[in-house]
Amino acid sequence: MFISAIAFVEGTPKVQQIVEAFSQAIEGGEWAPGSKLPSVRELTQVLGVSKFTLNEALDRLRGRNLLTSSQGRGYFVAMETARPASVAWVDLLPQDLLSVLRRPLANADSELRPGSGHLPEDWLNTEAIRQALRSVVRAPSLRIAGLGTPAGLLPLRQALQQKLHSDGLAVPVEQIITTPNTVQGLDMLMRLLTRPGDTVLLDAPCYFNFHANLALHGVKVVTIERRPDGLDFTALEQLLAEHRPSLYLTTSVLQNPTGHSFSPSQAFRLLQLTRQYHCHIIEDDLYGDLHPNPPPRLAALAGLDQVTYLSGFSKILSANTRVSYVVAAPQLAANLTHMKLMSGGVTSELFEHVVYRMLSEGSYARHRKRTVQRLQEAGGRVEQWLKRCGCEPAMAYEGGMFIWARLPAGVNAEQLAQAALKHSMALAPGALFGYDPANGDSMRFNVAHTDEPRVQRLFETLLLKAVGR
């Protein structure tokens, strides 16, 4: 086998360039399957690289299953493994319409994503995240072989303690427990706080994963309408008296999907009623940091005996930087730490270090401030555009990621979303957020993704077709 020298380009690691060159030769059929590569000594001379650089590249190629190696014999091009032509790939995930519509919202499968639950990548402070990662990887404090601390990295929990104090919640660091993400945090809390057959109260509409997760725990779900002006407290009291739910899972600031936040007076009345009927609250505060002037959190008003607080960083930092945390009463915090150990839910210490650096060095606060301002500007434009399209926002936009709006009369949100998928655009119809038929003509808009001319042109075109113009 003849291997020629590589014209290395400045600015790209030589390891990466070797891997790319060898991969092209193998995948392009230039090197026959099973053929033997020259020795490591010969390759280093031909390529003009160190043995360390070459071995790193060869290891990566083995990891891609493009090369194999044999002790004392050297490296060989991997033999092709033919896939039987009669065997087709099968999608085992649910194929109903709502499941199909939900998938591109969780995965970046669509080019245009006005229904997404996350910020666009160009809104994220990716350079700060990369810089924090580089610093953490080089730091001796990172325990490469460790399993992580059960309650979470102490410096991070101390930084979270300071952040919570600034939000009005003073809590001992022992009662702050990290989790890999908010859904897993909720899942563990449900296992600790409920039993099959218990009743749990949810907002309607609400984040679609809440319904799916609670179904796994075998609890009975009852809902209370989350209106533009808050809750109907007469209806809430009747519901509490009749169903006696043990838990109320809610979002007090910038609720998903409506964007509504409880005012202090609404929060006070809610806490009064749930205390009267012995209904514990889990407060999901994943979006609160996106509010330009957030009202007090329920946990800050009532304390942790009545409210368990759950938050994280996936919405502002990155969906791949999934460090979340629970703030709970002492015994519940202890039980949660034990459950993390027993269920393998210990949080990645690498990501804990990254979030700690961003909190302690100020990059998170600066990015949060810029993001809130950008959302305010984009939200104002999207709100006006939706009105011009004939859509009716449920409430005046006050900040955050989402606008919940009613579509023009006669337009079915699911059908509109289905049509949009054919054009690689992911929308979020109201049916994803609850079972109430009244949501059938509503839709959630992510203002960061919707404030885009291509999105708006395509949406207007599909809307005109839907109303028959």
Residue 356 belongs to a domain with what CATH number? 3.40.640.10
Q: Note down the domain range covering 158.
A: 126-364
- The pLDDT of residue 12 is 86
Whose CA is closest to 176, among 344, 324, 354?
324
Are 259 and 404 within one domain?
no
Q: Which DSSP string do the residues of 5-63 spell out, in sequence order?
A: ---PPTTS-HHHHHHHHHHHHHHTTSS-TTPBPPPHHHHHHHHT--HHHHHHHHHHHHH
Q: How many CB atoms lie within 10 A of CB 306?
A: 18
In a domain, 89, yes or no: no
In a domain, 1, yes or no: no
Give me the residues paired with residue 308 across strands: 282
In a domain, 41, yes or no: yes
Note whether 152 and 177 are within 8 A (CB).
yes
- The pLDDT of residue 100 is 64
In a domain, 82, yes or no: no
Mode of pairing for the β-strands spanning 220-225 and 199-204:
parallel
What is the residue type of 418? Q
- The pLDDT of residue 81 is 44
Are 137 and 274 within one domain?
yes
Are 48 and 108 within one domain?
no
- The pLDDT of residue 85 is 47
Residue 41, phi then psi, degrees to nearest 5: -60, -45
Report how many domains make up the chain.
Answer: 3
Are 147 and 204 within one domain?
yes
In a domain, 88, yes or no: no
Are 175 and 289 within one domain?
yes
In the chain (469 residues long), the average pLDDT of successive 10-residue segments reads 84 89 88 90 92 89 86 84 48 63 63 91 90 87 77 95 95 96 93 96 92 91 93 97 97 96 96 98 96 96 97 89 92 95 83 92 94 97 96 95 95 92 91 86 96 96 85
In a domain, 85, yes or no: no
- The pLDDT of residue 83 is 44
Domain boundary residue, one of 339, 364, 389: 364
- The pLDDT of residue 144 is 74
Are 179 and 112 within one domain?
no
- The pLDDT of residue 86 is 46
| E strand spans, 206-331 | 220-225, 247-250, 280-284, 307-312, 324-327
- The pLDDT of residue 84 is 44
- The pLDDT of residue 342 is 86
